Structure 1
Amino acid sequence: MEQNNLARSFAQAEPKKVVSTPDQVVTKKVRVSQRLNLSVFEKLLIVCGSALLTVLMLVVVSSKIALSNSQHQLQHLDSQTVNVRNDNTNLKQQIGELQSSSRLDKIAKQSGMSLSNHNIRNVTK
């Protein structure tokens, strides 16, 4: 039973001295961490840095929102531009169909008009 107690006492005990040679004895020093007090300047610097960081985060978020809104408006304008171009193409095609000589001849015959070549003049600048 004494041996069990001896083993327990060795397991619980932490060695604080390290002996390398019989002449030298080296002791380990344990450092206890101490909390350092912050100066007024350091506190002010931390507060200003935190405020600046918060402002920069808000600026980044607001610029991302503005960018996405601008992209949405650009897409909307692009789709409107495509629609107007399609309408212009359709209207040009209708103008071409309405100005065709066969159509004009047909309308002229229905109205009792005729085409005489001696009344046609070519004008150039």
Structure 2
Amino acid sequence: MDSTVRSLQPELTPEIVPQAQPLELPKVAVRGKEKVALSKFEKLMFGVVACATVALMMMLVHTTINVSSSQRQLQDVQSKITKVETTNVDLQQEVGELTSSDRLATYAKENGLTFNDANVRNVTQ
């Protein structure tokens, strides 16, 4: 039996397949960085951005100058207010000194006036 099976089936011998040569890829030369030309739209956009930047810088300088000027005017007004307040305090003190009861009594004695307590009323606000 053993020989019958062998005679019916051909012998399978492994075929030796030659090894395929690796494909060689064509060599591509790598160039250095090349500058790509800008389109008209890109040039236009760069110009618009540059103009806007310059305009904003000029507006910033103008605004800074205006703020500085306003601050100087505010300081001038505040110093004037301080001077007027100081003058008011000095004048109020002078009024208080001139209307003191001791001064009025001294003035009355010097000019021969008399003081009658019955005719005096004190009024407060």
For the criterion TM > 0.5, the same-fold answer is yes
Q: What SS is found at the alignment partner of 1:92? A: helix
Further displaced range: 80-89 or 97-106 = 80-89
The aligned residue for residue 115 of structure 1 is: 115
Q: How many Å apart are 1:75 and its aligned residue?
A: 1.6
Aligned to 1:90: 90
Provide the rounded CA distance (Å) in 1 between the counterparts of 2:37 and 2:124: 96
Residues 121 and 91 of structure 1, relative CA distance in 2, 3 Å threshold: closer
TM normalised by structure 2 equals 0.67
1:117 positional shift:
2.0
Unaligned runs of 5+ in 1: 1-23
- In structure 2, the partner of 1:76 is 76
User: What one-letter code is carried by the residue in structure 2 that aligns with 1:63?
Assistant: T
Match of 1:34 in 2: 34
Larger-gyration structure (1/2): 2
User: Which residue number corresponds to residue 99 of structure 1?
Assistant: 99
Could you tell which deviates more after superposition, 60-69 or 70-79?
Answer: 70-79
Q: TM-score, normalised by structure 1?
A: 0.67
Separation in structure 2 between the aligned mates of residue 69 and residue 122 of structure 1, nearest angstrom: 52
Compare relative contact order (CA 8 Å, sep 6+) and give the higher one, 1 or 2. 1
What is the RMSD computed on CA atoms of the aligned residues? 2.6
Using the TM superposition, give the Cα deviation of residue 36 of structure 1 relative to its aligned residue in structure 2, in angstroms: 2.5
